Amino acid sequence: MSFWIIFKLLGSLALLMFGMKSMSESLQKMAGPQLRHVLGAMTTNRFTGMLTGMLVTASVQSSTATTVMTVSFVNAGLLTLAQAISVIMGANIGTTLTAWIMSAGMSFDITNAVYPTFFLGIILIYQKKYRYIGDFLFGMSFLLLGLGTLRGTGAEMHLGENQALLDFFTSFDPNSFTTTLIFLVLGGILTFCVQSSAAVMAITMILCSSGALPIYQGIALVMGENIGTTITSNLAALSANTQARRAAFAHMFFNVFGVLWILFVFHPFVDMVCGWVGYDVNMTKETAGTDAFLANAAKLNFVLAAFHTTFNVINTFILIWFIPQIEKLVCWVIKPKKTDEDEDLRLHFITAGIMKTPELSVLEAQKEIQSFSERMQRMFSMVRELLILSASSNNKKKSEQETEFNKLFSRIEKYESISDSMELEIANYLDQVSDAHLSDDSKAKIRAMLREISELESIGDSCYNMARTISRKYQGKEDHFTESQYGHLHQMMELTNNTLNLMNELMAGRKEAFDINRTFNTEHEINNYRNQLKQQNIVDVNNHEYTYAVGTIYMDLVNECEKLGDYVVNVVEARMGTRLRD
């Protein structure tokens, strides 16, 4: 029988965690883009940033989701690190709503109410228009069912009458500072192992409300949960970029600082919260009787929720005035790695461990593709510079010019390797994200992104092909281009660069504000100029202005520019979700 109860306990915890996850993901599907826009617009100062973090976290029931959005905006330059810290402070307050939901679920028998919700949810799931609401209702039902089962299981276990358990907890002096530290560390370790502060909070509520665990040890466990959840995010951020690691460290500093000051006023603070809720700290089973004792212990669920909220609100009020100093501290502790960003093969926005919210992973991938796009334009700029270097040695080759030429060509080769690597890594990431339950809008975005990275990699191939053609001519014995050829090539490359400018303007902005006809007109201009140069080349070769071999290399560069322009149009089409050409 004891094994059956343990399995019920573990299963109800699993239901609780799954319900929280389903609720969070369905809310993100319904309001993900709007929440991102709100987060970007409502962080003008530390107070609005804090309120925004609080409201967004309360809405999606996930402080991780809010933190991920915040870090992505910092990476994109839309938020400063100081603004991000204020949002994370607000997220700590917003996540306390979970404790209130759990305390209500543990205090009242709500299992009968979940079955009509399940029925309504399945009806809505099969209606495409409302299926995300159905997913949310299913998640909420699982959450409430898990809480109700936990409540019933806790009652079946009779923890308050288990003498061995009572003897274990009473062996710790509730007034001892050492006892508080032990349970604080225990709460942190449990949260780190379970990877869910909600699950540990539920266990704490069962132990406290049954009368087995004294209030002071229970609240010490809650304090440990606050630290344990930040350890997880910091370990996940180890493989992330500098700003993500700084944001994770700021979150840890916030919670650790709060725990440190609360330890100095621990017992008076807990007694104050207990007084608000109406819980008698001094009541014992021997003095008041079993029934009165258990009725008093039942209030502990609300004491834990009230403490969690009060602690985070006061901690935020203290630290919000010192955000600039916190920013300096985290920047001093987490220093950027000294790498050449242009030739760094690592992805900057996509991280393997920190992403726990599939809907928001789409935003991270979009930022990475934007970086990919900008790199390809830098690569094309190197090709233009390579052409200028090859022209500067027409009359006399100098050793330093050859060294510079070879060094630049090697950089272009490096960029070609980067483009191949970025395409594969982003594609693998999008493939992992697509395995999750996503909205139709996000699925369409992933399909478009896969096309975008394929075309961007083709832009890199075109740039490398042009660089190899220029290098072959520079190292070979063919005659040099004429002045008019160089002029035509520079003009063609200028037109091509204009298309790249338009592409990056689209990738960095919102597609609703982008005029798609500008890309079409530039691509049409490139095609016309290519045809004009093709005809002119035939005339010039026939007039012996230059050799056929030189004309072939010349037209290879012209045609590659035109192909690159086509790839740019393909990227724009994928991003806009429309076609420019028939």
Whether 132 and 30 have beta carbons less than 8 Å apart is answered as yes
More confident residue, 450 or 209: 450
**Interatomic CA distance for residues 218 and 212, integer angstroms:** 10
Q: What DSSP element (H or E) covers 412?
A: helix 399-434
- Among 35-49, 51-65, 481-495, the minimum mean pLDDT is found in 35-49
DSSP assignment of 87-134, as one string?
HHHHHHHHTHHHHHHHHHHHHS--HHHHHHHHHHHHHHHTSGGGHHHH
Q: Give the 3-state DSSP-derived string for 79-92, with helices as H, strands as E and coil as C.
A: CCHHHHHHHHHHHH
Q: Report which of 277, 279, 229, 226 is spatially closest to residue 255, judged by C-alpha positions.
A: 226
Mean pLDDT of 153-175: 65
**Quick check: 353 pLDDT over 60?**
no
More confident residue, 356 or 563: 563
Sign of torsion over alpha carbons 153, 154, 160, 164: positive
Q: What is the pLDDT of residue 542?
A: 92
Q: What is the pLDDT of residue 458?
A: 94
Q: What is the pLDDT of residue 536?
A: 92
Q: Give the range with max mean pLDDT: 166-175, 308-317, 339-348, 526-535.
A: 526-535
**Quick check: 220 pLDDT over 60?**
yes
Report the share of the chain in percent with pLDDT over 90: 20
User: What are the angstrom distances between the C-alpha of 577 and each of 173, 439, 511, 569, 570?
Assistant: 66, 16, 10, 12, 10
Q: What is the pLDDT of residue 60?
A: 65
Q: What is the pLDDT of residue 354?
A: 44
**Quick check: 17 pLDDT over 80?**
no
Task: Compute CA 366 distance to the chain's CA centroid, rounded to the nearest angstrom.
Answer: 11
When pLDDT is cut at 50, 70 and 90, the band that residue 395 belongs to is very low
Whether 244 and 237 have beta carbons less than 8 Å apart is answered as yes
Q: What is the pLDDT of residue 346?
A: 60
**Quick check: 556 pLDDT over 90?**
yes
Write the pLDDT tens digit of every residue in 261-272: 988 888 888 888
Q: Where are the domains of the chain?
A: 2-333, 358-576
Sign of torsion over alpha carbons 366, 371, 376, 380: positive
Whether 469 and 560 have beta carbons less than 8 Å apart is answered as yes
Q: What is the pLDDT of residue 117?
A: 82
Whether 538 and 447 have beta carbons less than 8 Å apart is answered as no
**Quick check: 340 pLDDT over 60?**
no
- Among 7-21, 103-117, 474-488, the minimum mean pLDDT is found in 103-117
Q: What is the pLDDT of residue 478?
A: 63
Task: Compute CA 286 distance to the chain's CA centroid, rounded to the nearest angstrom.
Answer: 53
Write the pLDDT tens digit of every residue in 497-541: 999 999 999 988 777 788 888 888 999 999 999 999 999 999 999
**Quick check: 546 pLDDT over 70?**
yes
Task: Compute CA 291 distance to the chain's CA centroid, rounded to the nearest angstrom.
Answer: 49
**Quick check: 157 pLDDT over 60?**
yes
Q: What is the pLDDT of residue 34?
A: 63
**Interatomic CA distance for residues 29 and 138, integer angstroms:** 14
Whether 40 and 52 have beta carbons less than 8 Å apart is answered as no
More confident residue, 14 or 378: 378
Q: What is the pLDDT of residue 467?
A: 94
**Quick check: 72 pLDDT over 80?**
no
**CATH code of domain 358-576:** 1.20.58.220
Whether 131 and 147 have beta carbons less than 8 Å apart is answered as no
Q: What is the pLDDT of residue 558?
A: 93
Q: What is the pLDDT of residue 535?
A: 94
Q: What is the pLDDT of residue 183?
A: 86
Q: What is the pLDDT of residue 1?
A: 45
Write the pLDDT tens digit of every residue in 75-87: 555 677 888 888 8
Mean pLDDT value across the chain? 80
- Among 45-54, 170-179, 535-544, the minimum mean pLDDT is found in 170-179
**Quick check: 6 pLDDT over 50?**
yes
**Quick check: 181 pLDDT over 80?**
yes
**Quick check: 388 pLDDT over 70?**
yes
Write the pLDDT tens digit of every residue in 103-117: 776 666 666 777 888
Q: Give the range with max mean pLDDT: 232-246, 290-304, 462-476.
A: 462-476
Q: What is the pLDDT of residue 579?
A: 61
More confident residue, 494 or 118: 494
Terminal CA-CA length for the chain: 71
